[in-house]
Structure 1
Amino acid sequence: MQRTILLSTAAAALALGVAAPAAAQNATAPRTVTITNPVPLTVETYRLANGLNVVLSRDTSVPVVAVNVWYHVGSGNEVAGRTGFAHLFEHMMFQGSANVGDDQHFRLISEAGGTLNGTTNSDRTNYFEAVPSNFLERVLWQEADRMGFLLNAMTQEKLDNQRSVVQNERRQNYDNAPYGLATETISRLLFPAGHPYSWTTIGSLTDLNAASMEDVSGFFRQYYAPNNASLAVVGDFDPAQARRWIERYFGSIPSGPPITRPTPQPVRLASEVRHVLEDRVQLPRLYVVWPSPAQFQPGDADLNVLGYILAGDRSSRLHQRLVLRDQLAQFVGANQGGRSLAGQFGITVQARPGVDLDRVLAIVDEEVARLRAEGPTQREVERARNNLEVSFVQRMQTTLGRADALNSYATFNGDPAFIQQDYARYASVTTGTVKQSLDWLGAGRIVLSVVPQGQTQLQASR
């Protein structure tokens, strides 16, 4: 039987053990904007006195509401020797807080018929739930409790347990997974030592083992505070009631200290860097990676289009050449990975058994050179733009997708309505701008060969 959690204002304050209200210097009045592209919707945004950014978007088409919390912290906020903390807290936040019992976050949402999870990358950590509309208050209460009072319930036993879980996850997904060390190797080779992107989100086993209770508690106090967070509520709800609940449960959580963002120098590679990894795999794989512009910076959208032209579908140039015509590869991929601090443009080719990766690299270079000389066709650009626009629309089809998208733009661009500007970037991509974006694919690059153990002769070495 479903039940809701109904707390009066006084009872909620007592249950949460709230501190005195934060200073009102950061509060803003609600602002409503209408978004027309890629899908029409109305968005209200405002800021609480403690700095929490709030995004509300009502849609009564189905009786479901999504709650999405973004903390502007990821592995890019860590420092060398103290890596993996952001991902560790993705796990710790589900272990219980002052008023939510151990491992009860999942149970409380599941018994309401909802879903939930959390993810971490280099630039942010998010937590999200989708529940029947009448359980909105329960979700807001739970999210507020772990934002304000996680450390009240944190113990050495919980830390050790989740540290072990993360370490096992690293072994499964990196150390012992086919091609699992490729991403970490590319990060280390592409970014200089100490750069926030030179390590992966999972962190190192050594750093996690060395982390003390005070180390991780200090990281939480610094970054998991309302002034470093954005809360999105999307779906079937009463906006006035939602605003009251948000103020009730989040409003008295104190602000955290000011956040200093990393500002690394732009990444440049003076020349090509080649590396080979022997792995327990059957097929050789080639990775070619260049430094590229950060997310939303000039060239970012054009390189996204270029990636699709090179390897986005069966009609793409590298698929036609490597998979269909020459039959050297099982699949190819190409993408622009724009992030907050820097980007990387990568081409990945899964070769067929025994294929020499020098042959594969030569064809990749031929196709890039041909595009550089001739530029793409108008039809290629239009097909790529259409596909990317479809991706925008698909992301906005569910309440969870809309909440995450709006929070993304609120966090990185200061305005959830920035999605319209992001969407519009692709309308200005032309054959000429795509050709110009190829300037990023210069001599300074990483060429990584992953080959079966004992078959280093298959690496790209010439």
Structure 2
Amino acid sequence: MKSFQLLTISFLLFTGFISYGQKDAKANKSKEFKVEFEQFTLDNGLQVILHIDRSDPVVAVALTCHVGSAREKAGRTGFAHLFEHLLFLESENLGKGGLDKMSARIGGSGANGSTSRDRTNYFQTVPKDALEKMIWAEADKLGYFINTVTDPVLAKEKQVVKNEKRQSYDNKPYGNNFSVINSNLYPENHPYHWEVIGSLEDLQNASLQDVKEFYNRWYVPNNVTLTIAGDVDVKQTKAWVQKYFGEIKRGETIPKMEKQPVTLNQTKKLYHEDNFARLPQLTLTWPSVYEYHPDSYALEVLANYLSTGKNAPLYKVLVENKKLTDQVGMFQYNSELAGQYMLNVIAFDKTNLNDVMNSINEAFKNFEKEGISQQDLNRIKAGQETAFYNGLSSVLGKGFQLAQYEIFAGTPDFINQDVKNILAVTTADVMRVYKKYIKDQHFIASSFVPKGETNLILKGSTLATVVEEKIIEGKEESFDASIVATYEKTPSSFDRSVEPAYGNSPDVVLPSVWKDKLTSGLSLFGIENQEVPLVQFQLQIKGGMLLENKDKIGVANLLSELITKGTQNKTPAELENAIESLGATIRASATDESILIQGNTLAKNYAQTIQLVQEIILQPRWDSKEFELIKQSTLSQIQQQKADPNTIARNEYRKLVYGKESILSNNRMGTENSVNSITITDLKAYYNQNISPSVSNFQIVGAVSKAEVNRSLSALNKNWKSKKVRFPETKIADAPESSKIYFYDVPGAKQSVIRIGYPALAATDADFYPADIMNYRLGGGDFSSQLTQELREGKGYTYGIGSSFDGTTTKGPFTIYSGVRSNVTFESVKLIKDILEQYGPLFTANDLDVTKGYLIKSNARAFETMGSKLNMLYEISNYNFSDDYAKQRENTVKKMAIEDIKNLSKKYLNTNKMIYLIVGDAETQLKKLEQIGFGTPILLNKEQSHK
């Protein structure tokens, strides 16, 4: 998940992370890269890693279990991932709702977890006064959990996992590609042969006894690493860890799994006709190396060099010369036992994948002749440097990495060696690993093509095995997950049912904001932050889609793409190289209401990075070749969106919520017709009329002072001419007088994507934040919300559901969003409607306490990351919020009464004045929705639907 970077920045980053006993100031000046930590092992085998970071009053706690899908048995796959779900539900002393329920009370970031081939982790960041509670809770999950799992609980969670599989694999374009690759790359007896999520059949067959055996084998202290990073008292933390984890019994000895690299004795070519794909995709996969293998560092550079950037051999041939695709992705997917090296191309419409394959071979031959230059190697390492520090800029990021190194490299101290290994890569290493792992080596080639387009597949391909579950009406098992388990409590030396008290309440110090306005009209908003030697900034030029001609939607999007493709003085390749050589990124994008130019750079290179931003704004290149490439790429993305149920739902919902008269009803990428009609002259006209400092904000966070920022912008301020920009009135439809159901047909959809809502409030409306408070317990509070508790935890209908108010300076929608199993579409919509109707009348004092507890306590970690600080500046600059708006909101929360919530829900949650949109299989689901009571559903795409 993380990339890595160079080491030229020294110990400056880590002056706040000094070892616990270190008091000698001279030691802080050490130039050696170091992340300090303390490690110890309990008698039961639990590995504990502590790391101090006092920059914010927060602590990240991560429990990492050395078990993933690779520790499963054939026929019993998916258990590790199923456990990730089960472990959140309940334990003996946490009770029903488990850590999710506690998280809402203590102001945590939301307890979460993830499963890979080789490990499962559970993590959360909390205010430091809740640290003992978290240690108590994590220990309860590890040692006092299994008795609470019942057959109904298991049956319900199986449905949740099935929904996750449908959402992530079966109901999206190319969702089964990895399954096809891995089942052919790894032999049947290899632990990477199956997917982490497992097979639906195996999940369905899992018994309670199977689950208990898996728990007893793997969820033992001697197979777990506990990482605690943040503002902690080391002595006290050690005592708590010993108290709560110390008496959990050690499990059987777990032997280390040997590395299991694979070789192919022939190239395998496979194909699949994808129900959700609109464009052909080719993926090539070579056997590679395990995580942290010495060759992995050069392979990382090779993937970057071959595929990323204007001068990349694959980009030059496939994108620029042959125009077969808009991008090429190449990466390594390394795991503990083995690895794979992957090259992925989604080609343009009707492109023959044999042409793609021939072009890949041509690019490889070019690389063989030319190799990689030292300059390019340095450029790639500079980017790795910045990314490395970004990965360590939060306490959770540092905690993750320390645990990762402990488990897969044998020691957390490998964090200090890893970067040195990156730096040691030479140009000769890059060519060596290419010849060893790629050149003339066998591979897996998977061709995924739209239905009926097998003429595009790679020659010699055979039909891949893809298991797609049939979903039959009324065939799902029923269960009551609310039944309380009866069991004899696991004995303990003290009463574990008593939740520890809070520690001393942390003092929440809001970041200090500075502001300025330059003579050009450019407004500046900054926060100086010296924790890491990084700077993040964004230049927001207001306008975006709001300033477009309705007949040519997509101009702002195309302009944002083109503006970073060269300047008057630099070709696209030269500009790209100048940015990357600084270890920086500069990206531009369009939103509904702005064009954003966002940057991330090392503090020492900030001034040079801003010079490039200035050049981009003042001296656009208007490169016609790049413009045509961007148009083709945009058209390709629009085509892909037509096949993705979630994107279809987003685009159709915009039309319904904002209304035909509103410019905001459009997809800001445009349509195929509008994009085809746009010329480079249209982009120049938009630029000349609307790109002005008078409507721009510059927001910046990091290791840079106000004076330095002002100096860096002096030339831009002098040379960027101000102009008057006229904003037309933004029309937005009123809420419907009566509810209607709209249906978009995706034949064969395994899930129904649901959007329910209406145009509600602007972020600047007096009721916006109170309504947001009201929504917390409904659908804004993740697992503490009623929608999640009833549709996921109670019924197993969905993998995820939520609700939100999303306004800006203009009125935005209230939306409920989810993807549900297709054969419970009606049941889900009806249950959502019932929850909405009962929410206000049944809102309790406990609901209010949970809401207040979370919203007040979570302020301790509200501005920990650079991204959160940048968002704070965005809100201050766009909505005219005061610098201490977080404190003001805290007072609003404190004053909120039950009657206020009831009144707000009555005002803003009227189920009879909402838009109900379902994207799914009309043949099986449309008719039943008439029973909701809003008349016959309106089919939005009759020409594509079933007869």
TM-score surpassing 0.5? yes
Specify which of 402, 405, 409 is matched with residue 409 of structure 1: 405
Specify which of 353, 356, 363 is matched with residue 352 of structure 2: 356
- What is aligned with 2:241? 246
Cα distance in 2 between the residues matched to 1:81 and 1:314: 46
Is the aligned partner of 1:58 residue 2:52? Answer: yes
- What is aligned with 1:331? 327
Alpha carbons of structure 1 residues 455 and 165: separation in structure 2 relative to 1, 3 Å: same
Does structure 1 retain, via aligned residues, the 8 Å contact 2:327–2:345?
yes
Cα distance in 2 between the residues matched to 1:377 and 1:449: 33
Is the aligned partner of 1:445 residue 2:440? Answer: no
- What is aligned with 1:19? none
Does structure 2 retain, via aligned residues, the 8 Å contact 1:39–1:393?
no
Specify which of 102, 121, 134 is matched with residue 129 of structure 2: 134
**CA offset digits 1:34-81 (Å, max 9, x no partner):** 998996432000100100000001111111110011100000111111
- Between the aligned residues of both structures, percent identity stands at 38
Q: What is the identity, as a one-letter code, of the residue corresponding to 2:49?
A: V
- What is aligned with 1:25? none
- What is aligned with 1:111? 105
Secondary structure in structure 2 of the residue aligned to 1:330 = coil
Secondary structure in structure 1 of the residue aligned to 2:327 = strand
- What is aligned with 1:84? 78
- The CA deviation at 1:360 is 0.9
Within a 5 Å distance, the mapping from 1:37-48 to structure 2 comes to 40-48=34-42
TM-score, reference length from structure 2: 0.45
Alpha carbons of structure 1 residues 138 and 424: separation in structure 2 relative to 1, 3 Å: same
Cα distance in 2 between the residues matched to 1:420 and 1:352: 43
Does structure 2 retain, via aligned residues, the 8 Å contact 1:31–1:45?
no
Secondary structure in structure 2 of the residue aligned to 1:331 = coil
Cα distance in 2 between the residues matched to 1:367 and 1:110: 53
Cα distance in 1 between the residues matched to 2:119 and 2:161: 18
Cα distance in 1 between the residues matched to 2:255 and 2:169: 30
Cα distance in 2 between the residues matched to 1:323 and 1:209: 45
Alpha carbons of structure 1 residues 161 and 314: separation in structure 2 relative to 1, 3 Å: farther
Cα distance in 2 between the residues matched to 1:311 and 1:110: 43
Cα distance in 1 between the residues matched to 2:384 and 2:21: 27
- What is aligned with 1:191? 186
Specify which of 219, 225, 234 is matched with residue 220 of structure 2: 225
Is the aligned partner of 1:455 residue 2:449? Answer: no
Does structure 1 retain, via aligned residues, the 8 Å contact 2:91–2:98?
no
Does structure 1 retain, via aligned residues, the 8 Å contact 2:313–2:367?
no
Alpha carbons of structure 1 residues 49 and 423: separation in structure 2 relative to 1, 3 Å: same
Gap regions ≥5 residues in structure 1: 1-29
Is the aligned partner of 1:153 residue 2:148? Answer: yes
Q: What is the identity, as a one-letter code, of the residue corresponding to 1:104?
A: G
Cα distance in 2 between the residues matched to 1:306 and 1:352: 25
Alpha carbons of structure 1 residues 38 and 134: separation in structure 2 relative to 1, 3 Å: farther
- The CA deviation at 1:392 is 1.8
TM-score, reference length from structure 1: 0.90
Alpha carbons of structure 1 residues 38 and 435: separation in structure 2 relative to 1, 3 Å: farther
Length, aligned pairs only: 433
Q: What is the identity, as a one-letter code, of the residue corresponding to 1:246?
A: V
Does structure 2 retain, via aligned residues, the 8 Å contact 1:283–1:452?
yes
- The CA deviation at 1:383 is 1.9
Does structure 1 retain, via aligned residues, the 8 Å contact 2:352–2:456?
yes
- The CA deviation at 1:315 is 4.1
Cα distance in 1 between the residues matched to 2:223 and 2:377: 38
Specify which of 261, 268, 271 is matched with residue 273 of structure 1: 268
- The CA deviation at 1:265 is 4.3
- What is aligned with 2:294? 298
Cα distance in 1 between the residues matched to 2:261 and 2:116: 20
Does structure 2 retain, via aligned residues, the 8 Å contact 1:114–1:131?
yes
Q: What is the identity, as a one-letter code, of the residue corresponding to 1:64?
A: V
Is the aligned partner of 1:289 residue 2:318? Answer: no
**CA offset digits 1:282-309 (Å, max 9, x no partner):** 0111100100111111311111111100
Secondary structure in structure 2 of the residue aligned to 1:201 = coil
Is the aligned partner of 1:260 residue 2:255? Answer: yes
**CA offset digits 1:207-263 (Å, max 9, x no partner):** 111111111111011111110000010011111110011001001101111113443
**CA offset digits 1:302-339 (Å, max 9, x no partner):** 11111100123444332233223332113211011111
Is the aligned partner of 1:202 residue 2:204? Answer: no
**CA offset digits 1:440-462 (Å, max 9, x no partner):** 01331011111001101111216
Cα distance in 1 between the residues matched to 2:200 and 2:31: 44
Cα distance in 2 between the residues matched to 1:212 and 1:260: 26
- Based on CA coordinates, which of the two structures has the bigger radius of gyration? 2
Secondary structure in structure 2 of the residue aligned to 1:244 = helix
Cα distance in 1 between the residues matched to 2:122 and 2:261: 31
**CA offset digits 1:63-103 (Å, max 9, x no partner):** 11100111000001111111000000000001110001212
Is the aligned partner of 1:175 residue 2:170? Answer: yes
- What is aligned with 2:798? none
Does structure 1 retain, via aligned residues, the 8 Å contact 2:261–2:288?
no
Secondary structure in structure 2 of the residue aligned to 1:126 = strand
Does structure 2 retain, via aligned residues, the 8 Å contact 1:44–1:57?
yes
Cα distance in 1 between the residues matched to 2:260 and 2:237: 42
Does structure 2 retain, via aligned residues, the 8 Å contact 1:32–1:42?
no
- What is aligned with 1:98? 92
Is the aligned partner of 1:73 residue 2:67? Answer: yes
Is the aligned partner of 1:124 residue 2:124? Answer: no
- What is aligned with 1:341? 337
Alpha carbons of structure 1 residues 336 and 454: separation in structure 2 relative to 1, 3 Å: same
